[in-house]
Amino acid sequence: MEFTLEQIARLVDGIVIGNPQEKVYTIAKIQEGHRGAICFLANPKYEPYLYQTKATAVIVNKDFQPQRPVSTNLIAVEDAYTALSKILEEYQKIIFRPKLGVEEPSFIHHSAQVGENCYIGAFAYIGENVQIGKGVKIYPHVYIGDSCIIGDNTVIYAGVKIYQGCKIGKNCVLHSGVVIGSDGFGFAPQPDGSYKPVPQIGGVIIEDDVSIGANTTVDRATLGNTILKKGVKLDNLIMIAHNVEVGEHTVIASQTGVSGSTKIGAYCVIGGQVGFAGHITVADKTSIAGKSGVMGDINESGQQLMGVPVMPLKEHLRALAVFKRLSEVWKRLERLEKKLFSSGID
């Protein structure tokens, strides 16, 4: 299927700089652009490719100023990455046929309610009293424990496991290997050094528009609920412990772990492999660099933090600059001491 640049510009609310009648039939990365492909430039790191690409057109931000002559057509938009997202959405609708209906064998408890236009893949398991909304896609090997509630248009990919009694909102996406509602890690130490498991009878509430990456785990609460608020985006292999709350539209990159009862604010941006201690509070709009460790409350919102334990980003970078030269610091210290304490002054 082919589209003119004019048609695409209309879709993404952009302006064609070049020939609006040229046609494209596919989408490509800018470094792999070719005749008939439309590309996009969002990350400035890839700008050099713009001047050599063979793509028919490149989508750029309105405020982008080329530093050199450009031979390809441009489509200027408010935000190139969002425009790409729109085009890919349309492309996806054409390419991928949505799954529908129930494949056999599957296990759907007679008391479960399933809405219209759902897909239930083979070997999926829907427990007692489960309620599933409209347009939900449940891929093969998904397990939905008793009394769970799944909101409209949520997509649950192959092999997701949801323990009994959890609530998932509308328009959520749960990727393969996600585990929701496993027991929180609660054990009471006993006098003989062994541990007694503390039953975890709370639940998990996942609000609307939440996306959860492959093999991420969200434990159920001891009491009350573990909560992921509206619009939260979690990457792969993340650990959300019992009674944690993650605020609206907070984004967390892969392999980060949040310990029990910690509350992360709204609109935070958390890097990968970050660790949060338990029972702490992190203010809204906090930004935390990858590999950091958050040991205590972050009370002031809007900070950029880094390190183990976290410090303001700039301070941490300054400390790191000296860290790299610590063996030099040591030598200079010795030189000073030699001078000062052996020169007769002492």
Q: Does 281 help bind its own copies (rule: CB under 8 A)?
A: no
Q: Does 107 help bind its own copies (rule: CB under 8 A)?
A: yes
Q: Enumerate the β-bridge partners of residue 332.
A: none
Q: Does 19 help bind its own copies (rule: CB under 8 A)?
A: no
Q: Does 110 help bind its own copies (rule: CB under 8 A)?
A: no
Task: List the one residue out of 242, 190, 240 whose CA is nearest residue 210.
Answer: 240
Q: Is the dihedral of CA 28, 29, 32, 33 positive or negative?
A: positive
CA angle 40, 44, 50 (to 5 degrees): 50
Nearer Cβ to its own copies (145/151) = 145
Q: Is 219 helix (H, G, I), strand (E, B) or coil?
A: strand
Q: Does 303 help bind its own copies (rule: CB under 8 A)?
A: no
Cα distances from 305 to residues 36, 288, 320, in angstroms, run: 44, 5, 14
Q: Does 326 help bind its own copies (rule: CB under 8 A)?
A: yes
Taking CB under 8 A as the criterion, the residue among 11, 18, 36, 91 binding its own copies is 91
**Least gap, CB of 72 to its own copies (angstroms):** 16
Q: Does 319 help bind its own copies (rule: CB under 8 A)?
A: yes
Q: Is 337 exposed, middle or buried (0-12, 13-18, 19+ CB in 10 A)?
A: exposed
Compute the distance between CA of residue 134 and CA of residue 257 in angstroms, rounded to an integer: 33
Nearer Cβ to its own copies (21/194) = 194
Cα distances from 311 to residues 116, 257, 265, 298, 315, in angstroms, run: 51, 19, 18, 10, 7
Identified catalytic residue from 175, 242, 249, 316: 242
Q: Does 62 help bind its own copies (rule: CB under 8 A)?
A: no
What six digits make up the tokens of 198? 């503390």
Q: Does 345 help bind its own copies (rule: CB under 8 A)?
A: yes
Residues constituting the chain: 346
Touching its own copies, residues 199-238 (CB under 8 A): 199-201, 209, 211, 213-215, 217, 219, 222-224, 231, 233, 235-237
Touching its own copies, residues 139-178 (CB under 8 A): 139-141, 143, 145, 157-159, 161, 163-164, 173, 175-177
Q: How many CB atoms lie within 10 A of CB 135?
A: 19
Q: Does 51 help bind its own copies (rule: CB under 8 A)?
A: no
Q: Does 257 help bind its own copies (rule: CB under 8 A)?
A: yes
Compute the distance between CA of residue 128 and CA of residue 170 in angstroms, rounded to an integer: 21
Nearer Cβ to its own copies (54/291) = 291
Binding part of the chain for its own copies, among 3-11, 17-25, 67-75, 183-191 by CB under 8 A, reads: 183-191
Q: Give me the amino acid identity at 117.
A: N
Q: Is 183 helix (H, G, I), strand (E, B) or coil?
A: coil
Taking CB under 8 A as the criterion, the residue among 34, 296, 299, 340 binding its own copies is 340
Nearer Cβ to its own copies (73/225) = 225
Binding part of the chain for its own copies, among 2-10, 67-75, 90-98, 112-120 by CB under 8 A, reads: 90-98
Q: Applying CB under 8 A, what is the total number of residues that bind its own copies?
A: 117
242 is catalytic: yes
Task: List the one residue out of 190, 118, 126, 135 whose CA is nearest residue 164.
Answer: 126
CA atoms within 13 Å, Cβ hemisphere of 149: 10
Binding part of the chain for its own copies, among 13-21, 49-57, 65-73, 78-86 by CB under 8 A, reads: 78-86
Taking CB under 8 A as the criterion, the residue among 293, 303, 304, 313 binding its own copies is 293
What six digits make up the tokens of 133? 């909304």
| Active-site residue set | 242
